[in-house]
Amino acid sequence: MVASAGKPEEIPAFNDGVSMSQLVTELTKQRTPIKEDISALIQESMVPLQASVNGLTETLASFQSRLCATETLASDNFSVLATAEKTIKTLKEQNTTLMDRVDALENRSKRSNLRILNVPEKSERGQSTVKFVSEMLMEVMGQEVFESFPELERAHRSLGPKPQEGRPPRPLVMFSQIPREGKSIKMGQTE
């Protein structure tokens, strides 16, 4: 039906005898239960979603606490590592210094170690090697070099097996208290 100009369109009554006011009343009655049903459905569907959100929140909180713990541990480890690196650097420097000192001491101790070559085996004839070498040095070098018998801390043949016939004898090694710059060393180096 087309409305004429300026007049509102009328809604026709249903043929079964229900008026518009009855229809509105009936719809109003139904609206409340439908609204409650929809609200209940929404609430039911929200429960699993809320549980999922709660689970994600707990997981996120757990990850955050683990991340904080990891960051703290990493920070502590960096501190320990920095300390260890400083200690290692110090120890390396000390080790280098000590190795230099050991080398210097070895070199100084070797200055007092003298080798005498080509002294026949068994020349000592049963006497102490220290006494034999001291007497031999005095006899060979004389009183121009030594005023008295030289003081030796120890003397022995170099380590190793006794040489076979025709092979050179083992050197005599002595640890002396003769100064390196002494006349005996200079004389031994020239001969």
Q: For the chain, how long is the longest CA-to-CA vector? A: 159
Mean pLDDT calculated for residue range 43-48: 88
Q: Mean pLDDT highest for which of 9-18, 134-143, 172-181?
A: 134-143
pLDDT-wise least confident of 72-76, 130-134, 176-180: 176-180
Question: In whole angstroms, what is the distance from residue 114 CA to residue 175 CA?
Answer: 6
Supply the pLDDT for residue 173.
83
**Mean pLDDT of the chain, nearest integer:** 81
Residue whose entry in the numeric block shows the structure tokens 């429960």: 47
Which has more confidence, 55 or 184? 55
Q: Which two tokens stand for residue 22?
A: 């009855």
Q: 115 Cβ partners below 8 Å, 6+ apart? A: 158, 171, 172, 173
Amino acid, single-letter form, for residue 147: E
Supply the pLDDT for residue 17.
67
E strand or H helix that includes residue 176 = strand 172-176
Question: In whole angstroms, what is the distance from residue 127 CA to residue 130 CA?
Answer: 9
- For residue 137, pLDDT over 70 is answered with yes
What's the pLDDT tens digit per position in 76-93?
Answer: 999 999 999 999 999 999
